[in-house]
Amino acid sequence: MKFSNIISISILRMYGVTSFAPNSYTMDVVISSKKNTAGANKRNRHDASGGVWGSSYRHRKRYNHNTNMFLWLHLKQNKKKTSFAVKQSDGDDDDDDDVTAAVTTTRRVESEEEEEEEEEEVREEGFPPKTLRSNRGLTENQVREKLEIYGENVLNPPKEKSWVELWAQQFDDRLVQILLVVAAISTASSVSQAMGSDPQSITTESMLELFVEPFIIILILMINAGVGVWQQLSAISSLEALKKLQPRLTTVLRQNNQGEDEWFTDIDASQLVPGDLIKVKVGDMVPADAYVCDLLSSAVLSVDESALSGESVSVEKEAIASNDWNTAICDGNDGYDSKPVNEQKSTLFSSTVITKGNAEAIVAKTGAQTEIGKIQKGIVSAEIIKTPLNERLDKFGNDLALLIAGICVAVWLISIPRFDDPSFASIFEGAVYYTKVAVSLGVAAIPEGLPAVITLVLALGTRRLAERNVIVRNLPSVETLGCVSIICTDKTGTLTTNQMTVESMLVMESQNNTNMWTELKVEGSSYYPIGKVNGLMEDELNACPSGAIADIFAVSVGCNDAQLVKTSDEVSIIGEPTEGALLTLAEKLAMKKEEGSLDRNRQRWLCDWKKYTTLDFDRKRKSMGVFCRNIHSGKETLLVKGAPNLLFERCTHVKLRSGSICEITDDIRDEFSSVITSLSSRPLRCLLLAVKDVDFDQYAGDIHRPEMFESIETGLTAVGIVGIRDPPRKEALESIRLCGQAGIRIAMITGDAKDTAVAIAKELTILPKDPMGTPLKAYEGKDFFSKSENEQKSLLASGNLVFYRTEPTDKQNIVKMLQSLGEVPAMTGDGVNDAPALRQANIGIAMGSGTEVAKEAADMILVDNSFSTIVKGVEEGRCIYANMQAFINFLISCNIGEVFAVFFASLFGFPSLLSSLQLLWVNLVTDGPPATALGYNPPDSEVMSRSPRDRNEEIITPWLLTRYFITGTYIAISTVGIFASYFLDSGLSFDEVRQWSTCAEWASNDSICLAFSQESLSIPQTLALSALVTVELLKALSSVSVDTSITKIGPQRNPALLLGVVIPFVIHLGILYSGKLGVPSIASSFGVVPLSVEQWISVFLWSLPILLIDDILKAYGKTINKNSHIANQ
Q: Which amino acid is at 1056?
A: A
Instruction: Give the DSSP letter string of 769-789.
Output: S--TTPPP-EEEHHHHHTS-H
- Which residue intervals of 956-997 are DSSP H helices? 958-985, 990-994
Catalytic position from the list 98, 284, 304, 490: 490
Helix (H/G/I), strand (E/B), else coil: 821: coil
- Rounded to whole angstroms, how far apart are CA atoms 502 and 940? 41
**In what side-by-side order are the strands of the sheet with 486-489?**
470-472, 860-862, 843-847, 825-829, 486-489, 745-749, 801-804, 778-780
The closest alpha carbon to 1102, from 969, 992, 975, 922, belongs to 975
Residue 490 annotated as catalytic: yes
Q: Which residues sit opposite 687 in a β-bridge?
A: 722
The beta strands (E) that lie in 631-715 are given as 636-642, 651-655, 661-663, 685-693
Angle, in degrees to the nearest 10, between helices 427-445 and 867-908: 150
Q: Which residues, 6+ apart, have CB-to-CB distance to 432 below 8 Å? A: 189, 192, 193, 196
CB 588 within 8 A of CB 532: yes
CB 319 within 8 A of CB 58: yes
Instruction: Give the DSSP letter string of 560-581.
Output: ---EEEEETTEEEEES-HHHHH
The closest alpha carbon to 905, from 840, 951, 974, 959, belongs to 974
The closest alpha carbon to 388, from 873, 796, 819, 811, belongs to 819
CB 153 within 8 A of CB 271: yes
The closest alpha carbon to 275, from 22, 57, 49, belongs to 57
- Rounded to whole angstroms, how far apart are CA atoms 842 and 854? 15
The closest alpha carbon to 137, from 52, 258, 50, belongs to 258
Backbone angles phi, psi at 968, to 5 degrees: -65, -35
How far, CA to CA in Å, does 262 sit from each of 140, 252, 1091?
12, 8, 90
* Whole-number CA gyration radius for the chain: 41
Q: Which amino acid is at 448?
A: E
CB 706 within 8 A of CB 623: no
Q: Which residues sit opposite 86 in a β-bridge?
A: 73, 101
- Which residue intervals of 126-203 are DSSP H helices? 140-150, 163-169, 174-196
The closest alpha carbon to 29, from 15, 46, 17, 13, belongs to 46
- Rounded to whole angstroms, how far apart are CA atoms 410 and 1048? 42
Helix (H/G/I), strand (E/B), else coil: 654: strand
Helix (H/G/I), strand (E/B), else coil: 354: strand
Annotated catalytic residues are: 490
